[in-house]
Amino acid sequence: MIVKQRAEAVHAALEAARSASSVHDEQPLSFDVAGEEIGVCADGDGGQRPADSAGRELLINCGAALFNMRTALLGEGYRPVVRVMPDPDRPCLLATVDVGSEMPADAQARMLVQGYEPRLIHRVGFTGLPVPSVVVQSLARHAAGEGAKLTVIGSPEAVRVLAALTQAAQAVQAQGRGRFALEMLHWARPLGASHVNGHRRNERDGQADHRALGETGVVALLSTPRDTQQEWIATGQALQSVLLRASARGFSAAFHSQALGVHYLREFLRQELCAGEYPQVIMRLGVAADDEQSVCRPLPGVLD
């Protein structure tokens, strides 16, 4: 019976990993199960984005999957053992997660994972409903617990700088990179811009309804003191912790990290907005203005 329960816990962890957030919805990971240990591997079939030659976003995605797996196992009543970059001779093996020892099931952890939906990765504007500061402060504490700093960009001038850098990065990355340019056009709208989804109009006054009008929401940065592979994975775990808890409160996120793929723009952000820390993720938080959802790869497609 215990063996069966542990097998069910492994399956729950895999399902949770499959639904973990990916900055560009690529989910370039696969999972190798050996008994009660799950290996998280770089997926050779998923390819690597042109702007992510160092693998930073790949490892952020890995961290997000790790956090979901950890949380799922806690919810199943196990204390997971995680090893990051465990084998220097196998660089594609990014981490391993062992089911670990038994413990009382964590009901909050179970609710976080089961209540999570990929829809919180938002592609258009938000409604005008605010994100309370107490919620943002709570999210920042949880991010810090995973080793990353969540900083709100409250200055309108700083938001405009981020918007300009995002547009500049899109222009730079589009030069001679047709596939990448199409990807950016599809997934990213300029930060701080007004977004309209569907252009639905009220027939009487010709105005777009409240669901079509896009608001910026809360603009925030995740940063780390250093810029190593371990910090990238920690960023992913912090990111997923933030997203799970934001989702539980009814908030969604949109990513705008194009500028982080251009070295000199990222360095500018590090010096000017991050007090010398390394920016890892740029996002907006708010209440979704539509029902648009992200798409997860089915479990058999990521399992070896």
pLDDT digits (tens, 9 = 90+) for 176-191: 555 544 444 444 455 6
Q: Please state the domain extents for the chain.
A: 2-114, 133-286
The third-level CATH classification (topology) of the domain covering 133-286 is: NADH Oxidase (3.40.109)
Residue length of the chain:
304
**Amino acid sitting at position 181:** A
Local confidence band at 117 (pLDDT 50, 70, 90 cut-offs): low
pLDDT tens, position by position, 51-94: 566 889 999 999 999 999 999 999 999 999 999 999 999 999 99
Q: How many CA atoms lie within 13 A of 96 on its CB side?
A: 15
Cα distances (angstroms) measured from residue 96 to each of 27, 86, 186? 17, 7, 33
Does 133-286 match 2-114 at the fold level? yes
For 24-44, give one letter per residue: b (16+ CB within 10 A) or e. Answer: bbbbbbbbeeeebebbbbbbe
Please state, in angstroms and as integers, the Cα–Cα distance from residue 297 to each residue in 17, 25, 62, 121, 275, following that order: 11, 9, 15, 15, 37
- Residues 206, 209, 210, 212: is their CA dihedral positive or negative? negative
Round to whole Å and give the CA distance between 93 and 88: 9
Cα–Cα dist 10/168, whole Å: 44
For the entire predicted model, the pTM comes to: 0.81
Please give the residue that has the higher pLDDT: either 23 or 157.
157
Which residues, in sequence order, are CB contacts of 146 under 8 Å at separation 6+?
67, 234, 237, 238, 241
Fold (topology level) of 2-114: NADH Oxidase (3.40.109)
* Cα–Cα nearest to 261, from 175, 194, 192: 175
